Structure 1
Amino acid sequence: MAEDCCSFNKDSLNIKPPKKSPLVLRTVVLVAVMICVVYIFSVCLELIGNHREPRIIKIELAEQPCHNPGIPQAEIPYVHYPEPSTYSREECACTPVRYFAILSMQRSGSGWFETLLNSHINISSNGEIFSAKERRSNISAITKTLDKVYNLDWYSSASKNECTAAIGFKWMLNQGLMTYHEEIVNYFKIRGVSAIFLFRRNLLRQMVSILANNHDRSTKQLNGTHKAHVHSKDEAYVLARYKPIIDATSLVPNLRNTRESASNILRYFKSTRHIVLYYEDLIQNHNKMVDILDFLKVPRRKLVSRHVKIHTRPLSEQVQKWNDVYHALKGTQYEKFLTADYEM
């Protein structure tokens, strides 16, 4: 009986799986393979399509580079191709542009000098832009203004849009230039800005011009209008009638401070690309302006200005209490300022 309980029928444990047709299996495998092939092919087409467009753009950009093989290697850091946000340079987009700044002092001939530059069809000098205090309140404001000028987005009467080949402005030493000189020198070197220094040899004549200009600013002698520069001999005659009084006791220290300021700014910017000019040299020899055009790498052209010189007479006839001035400078290193050092 025990054997009966623990014994199994062998036939009952022999379970066989149902048979499947080989044709069905082959069909399933074939369909799966075809689906995979179609999917992989479609993905490859999509990837090829996505890569095709950038390649075309790269080729188009490479076909029209702004590169002039005639520019010497040493000049490349000073050659720029600005892209203004306010207009398109169109056919002159690949015309190289040089950046410059005229670094000077009040009444050093910078206004006259700038009109000469602006008479050139390819030069735009935008005036004394840092006379506005908010533009020089800090280095960030200064940098923002410089970027706008050198990107050709600064608009003034001197602006020449498409054909500009040299862009700049006037910058007086007392308009933040001395305060932030380290940051500005660094900016000039990084952006490839060239400095044009314009000074006056005869600092006494410069002082007379400053005092006379300050007087006209308050009195407005020309029909109630202040004019720092004039375009007629009649206007010049009116302004030249004023004879300022110079404080003889502080004259030498004031001249010394002016000279030191010029020396300091030259020392600060000695590592930048620059040229040093003197007003008297330009007056005596107008051909000196050719040096400036060559410095800016623009075509040589005849330059003109409508400015008329105001103070043309000897200093002894343009200053009150001349004897005090004469004796204050006699025997000093500034004695040479007592006489004119250039032909009128």
Structure 2
Amino acid sequence: MTAQLLLRRSLLRRLPLRRILCLLPVALVVVVAVRHRDVLAEGIGRLASAEWPWLLAATGATCLTWVAAAVTRQGAVVDRLPGLRLLVTQFAAGAANHLLPTGLGASAVNLRFMTVCGLSPARSSAALALYLLAESVARVGLLAALLITFPDALRLGPLLPAGVWGPLLTAAGATAAVAAVLLVCVRRLRAVVSSFLRTALGEARSVHARPSRALALWGGSLAFPVLQASGLVLVGLALGLQVPPAHIALAYLAATVAVALVPTPGGLGSVEAALVVALVAVGGPVTVATAVVLAYRIITVWLPLLPGALTLGALVRWKII
């Protein structure tokens, strides 16, 4: 009888917490939407005057980004992950990524998903690191290729003011110095980092020993930013932005790389500003560039945000994450 009472009390204590975790993403969506209500209203107004076939194509490209993310994450691990649950998790992770500081939401969701699927925390972390590395290399590589192909398309002055390099280099140097000192002085931290690196290198070798996994990892990593940039190109066509598609793609990649280190939820605010500046830097009028960016963010962020948050809550409730 005592054991049954203890079990019942334990279940009662757990139930409110799980309900809170299920409802928390929706509450965060409401908070974010209220804070950005002016941008949201203006973006919806811009969509009303756009050509709908191009907008539908942009929506399709946005949906395909979740497929690309799922393919890349499968490519980062040797183990077979459940395909449908992996895809749904990427949709939910996208919402989490817009509600928490840059990258933390999606990383937390995917770490939890891989752990539930049976991977150890060390292997899950190694797979996440490999995914982030591959996606970053692909994004920067595409940007470099476009800059080489169209060297005069982007005026870097407005995007990266002259005085920005000093603080950036100083911050990077200080961070590297602090990390080096900590590794030298703290034995336990050094042991943890060494263990993680061994696990990560082992996972990377295992993945690249299987051609299908390597193809999924790098193919998905390339497809993801290409699809994102394609969405912006299609919205530009819908709103009559008189800029060549390749230059719009270049502007998108430059802007997203420039704001990668800005600790705002999903880049809300910082991404919009950087995209407008980048589109102007490749020759777009300010008013049209602003309209394109607002419409693009409505499609890629705001429309999926509430369904993604509801999906995230459901995945928590069903213990998939």
- What is the TM-score normalised by the length of structure 2? 0.25
The structure with more radius of gyration: 1
Higher relative contact order (CA 8 A, sep 6+): 2
Kindly indicate which of the two structures has a greater share of residues assigned to strand. 1
